Structure 1
Amino acid sequence: MQLIVANLMVSLTMSLTASLSAASSAATYYVAPTGDDAANGSKEAPWKTIARAQTAATAGDTIYFRGGNYTYTAGVNTCATRTDTVNAVTLDKSGSDGSPIRYWAYPGETPVFDFSQMKDDCRVKGFNVVANWLHLKGLEVTGVPQQPENHLNHESWGVWINGSHNIFEQLNTHHNMGPGVFIKNGGYNLVLNSDSHHNYDPYTSNGAGQSADGFGAHIKADNPGNVFRGCRAWANTDDGFDLINAFSPVLIENSWTWSQGYIPGTRISLPDGNGNGFKLGGYGGKYVANGVKHTIRNSVAFNNKVSGFYANHHPLANDFFNNTSFDNGIDFNMLGIDENGKPVHLGNLRNNIAFGGTLVANMEGTDNQFNSWNLPVSVTAADFQSISNAGWDAPRQADGSLPVLKHFHLAPGSALKNKGTNVNLPYKGAAPDLGAFDD
């Protein structure tokens, strides 16, 4: 026994020593639009490109990007065909557990990765992330293009992910011709306090606006742990959050989505833009036997063209806990599908609020209790401190978290306070409040 303990202590000491050594040897590099890749990467002599920084970086290192525009005119590869894909930035060098490679904005500055000048005549990935244990923070990604003469493809992508254990924090992805942030595959990725907005794919082969989501996850089976937390999606032509073809569970929490399905910045409907706030699964409207349950909680959807919270023909019941939906075409739409391909209503709903628009659809047969529509009261504007749909895109707090608003927080005397049930989420008072905010 003493030998076992001694060996364990030696192992722990070696592990701690290795961790401390890695931490002490971690390097910090700098990149700037005015830099030079022949420089040494110091603050005084920064590099010019992220590609140069990646060649030097190892696990535990931090690369700071100074503010300004990083403009791209071509991919690192070329289009073999008009239906090929090119990558503008490829991150393929991994960090390690506890020692990620950090690609961070320099504090107080905004590095803008602008891909709008690219003329590659095929699909484009702005950031092609195929490594593990990376942490991207504070980067702005914009302008990922489609070419107007090429209608052979679906979307391009702002940030395309096929890796695991990565963090994408405080990203601002906008005005891309496809989704802002898209998880193709991998597990335990966290998209944290990020925005994706005004994305529009006008040249997509199956219709303008069909594929430009704010955030998407189409992951394969056996890739758990993907989370969207504290994120906002607005003014995207397709959906705010889209989990169609996600064969591993995804969690969305503390997130907001509004104004999907229109030409960005207008109320002009795009016929091919789906226009849902949160689309939780669905597998293209076909029944699959290996579908998985997704969870959405403490989130808000409003002013979306079709549905705020949508089951999208999912084959099993997802969890919808403590959400607020208002002024959507339909606030909560639980249209599912059974093993025979027939419509069925599926969902587990607790502590939700629907207000304005069509409150619910396809709800009969679902497991729904302790929601605003289950109560013997009428929900009115007086139940809330504010019912404004303005200001949701206000600047984030210093730590990147969502702005503090009064909108749709319950008024002190509301009949919706303390009317929920315990779903293992924190709450104040005798019982959970209904809706996304428990004050």
Structure 2
Amino acid sequence: MRSTWITPPRTFAAAAVVSAAACVVVPPSARGATAQVYYVSPTGSDSASGSKSAPWASMAHAQSVVQPGDTVYFRGGTYAYTRANSACASRTARVDAITLSRSGTAAAPIRYWAYPGETPVFDFTGMRDDCRIKGFDVTGDHLHLKGLEVKGVPQNNELNHESWGLWISGSHNTFELLDLYDNMGPGLFIQNGGGNLVLNSDSHDNYDAHSSGGAGENADGFGAHIPAGNAGNVFRGCRAWWNSDDGFDLIRAFSSVTIDNSWSWRNGYLPETSTAAGNGVGFKAGGYGGGYVEGGAKHTVRNAVAFANRASGIYANHHTVANDYFNNTSYANHPDFNMLGVAPDGTSTGLGVLRNNIAYGGTLTANTAGTDSSHNTWELNVTVSDSQFKSVSTSGWDAPRDADGSLPVLPAFRLSGSSTLVDQGTDVGLPYRGAAPDLGAFEAR
């Protein structure tokens, strides 16, 4: 292969600077004359000044004070919640523990960040509210949450489908380096809003034991069920595993969503067991409940890895338009790629644009007749075997992230030096080395 790396031009944001007095990184837009830096600690007081030496105690108080451009640093420790900030109007009502309704601006977002080197844990396991619970209800725009853990949002009756770690209805927000786990429903759910970026975040071991639809049927890792007019939501560099339902779920999303460079494995089981629970799809890329509907949105799943899920690795889920599936690797799923779609007359058909994908192990494909499909392993005159890869290990995928928060570089499913899957793809607009793109989620180095 040639050593040329083909990639679009890059732009660089202004570098952050370090405040020697605070010994923390101060974002560029927080250096203005009016922008402020505040601190919150589990041992703080909301009657304090919010300084590093006199921190506040709660995110609610911080939200009541901050203005666009401000940064709030959360010190490490546990922030435990026992009740919502309003009463349940009924047993099927929705309440939340933390409401983030104050917005920043595009030029001056509001930042809620973990203090560097520390881990703030938002623990909702003690909540006893007898209705649907949102740990975080993010209704504001231009917010940036980074480095927070969110755990244990409960469901305390069996009249509802699920609760949520984060429920999002605002726009142009960034959710970075979040760790979402042990929630009785999706770790992160985009219900409305556009232009949200979920970046380098993990959602795992979520299980809805009390779901009205049956135990385990609604706890996804990540979900986006957004109405029309809210394009631009992106999941990038994210991981979902051991969720009792699906890893990523885009059912009923009427605005386009992109899933990029993300991994999903062992979903559809009771967490950490082999006991079947919910649907068990790695990437559920759309659908509207089974029948044909007008106005379906085109989604994109690219550079993704799905393996060892109870059901499909990548699933069109009765979608009504052809999604783009580019440079994905699906291993030991059932099947690896299921392109079941719905035609305008309500009949089943294969729907999808598939390029440069690898299917290996398990059942390779289902419902691909009718798709726009080429340069995938099941169509090329190649033999896929373990020797095509540096490794096919399915362990270690939850390894710590790299220092910059990106996914760890693992040998598994990366092409070996002798692989015949190198340079077998076609240009779909993604970066590649050599004469042509390689197949699968990882370009050979």
**TM-score category of the 2 structures, normalised to the smaller one:** over 0.9
Give the Cα–Cα distance (whole angstroms) in 2 for the partners of residues 377 and 418 of structure 1: 12
Give the Cα–Cα distance (whole angstroms) in 1 for the partners of residues 377 and 343 of structure 2: 27
CA displacement, residues 129-185 of structure 1 (integer Å, 9 cap, x when unaligned): 0000000000000000011xx211110000000000100000000000000000000
Match of 1:365 in 2: 370
CA displacement, residues 382-423 of structure 1 (integer Å, 9 cap, x when unaligned): 000000000100000111100110110000111100000000
1:293 maps to 2:302: no
Query: Among 253, 263, 267, which residue is 1:246 paired with?
Result: 253
Match of 2:56 in 1: 47
Query: Among 402, 410, 429, which residue is 1:405 paired with?
Result: 410
1:75 maps to 2:84: yes
Structure 1 unmatched runs, 5+: 1-18
Give the Cα–Cα distance (whole angstroms) in 2 for the partners of residues 84 and 186 of structure 1: 21
- Identify which of structures 1 and 2 has the higher relative contact order when contacts are C-alpha pairs closer than 8 Å and 6+ apart: 2
Task: Verify the 8 A CA contact 2:29 2:107 in the aligned structure 1.
Answer: no
Task: Verify the 8 A CA contact 2:255 2:297 in the aligned structure 1.
Answer: yes
Letter in 1 for 2:107: G
What is the deviation of 1:325?
A: 0.3
Match of 1:14 in 2: none
Match of 2:181 in 1: 174
May I ask how many residue pairs the two structures share in their alignment? 417
What is the deviation of 1:23?
A: 2.4
What is the deviation of 1:210?
A: 1.1
Give the Cα–Cα distance (whole angstroms) in 2 for the partners of residues 35 and 28 of structure 1: 16
What is the deviation of 1:376?
A: 1.2
CA displacement, residues 336-388 of structure 1 (integer Å, 9 cap, x when unaligned): 01112211111100000001000001111111100011111210000000000
Task: Verify the 8 A CA contact 2:29 2:108 in the aligned structure 1.
Answer: no
TM-score by length of 1: 0.94
Greater share of helix residues, 1 or 2? 1
Match of 1:383 in 2: 388
Match of 1:433 in 2: 438
Within-5 A mapping of 1:116-265? 116-147=125-156, 150-265=157-272
Give the Cα–Cα distance (whole angstroms) in 1 for the partners of residues 313 and 33 of structure 2: 48
1:355 maps to 2:360: yes
Structure 2 unmatched runs, 5+: 1-27
What is the deviation of 1:95?
A: 0.4
Letter in 2 for 1:127: F
Give the Cα–Cα distance (whole angstroms) in 2 for the partners of residues 52 and 349 of structure 1: 49
What is the deviation of 1:286?
A: 1.8
Q: Which moved more, 1:111-120 or 1:370-379?
A: 370-379
Do the aligned partners of residues 224 and 20 (structure 1) sit closer, same or farther apart at CA in structure 2, a change above 3 Å counting?
Answer: closer
Letter in 2 for 1:390: S
Match of 2:116 in 1: 107
CA displacement, residues 22-62 of structure 1 (integer Å, 9 cap, x when unaligned): 82321000000000111000000000000111111000000
Give the Cα–Cα distance (whole angstroms) in 2 for the partners of residues 301 and 287 of structure 1: 27
CA displacement, residues 51-97 of structure 1 (integer Å, 9 cap, x when unaligned): 11111100000000000000000000011111111110000000011
Indicate the percent of aligned positions where both proteins have the same amino acid.
Answer: 63
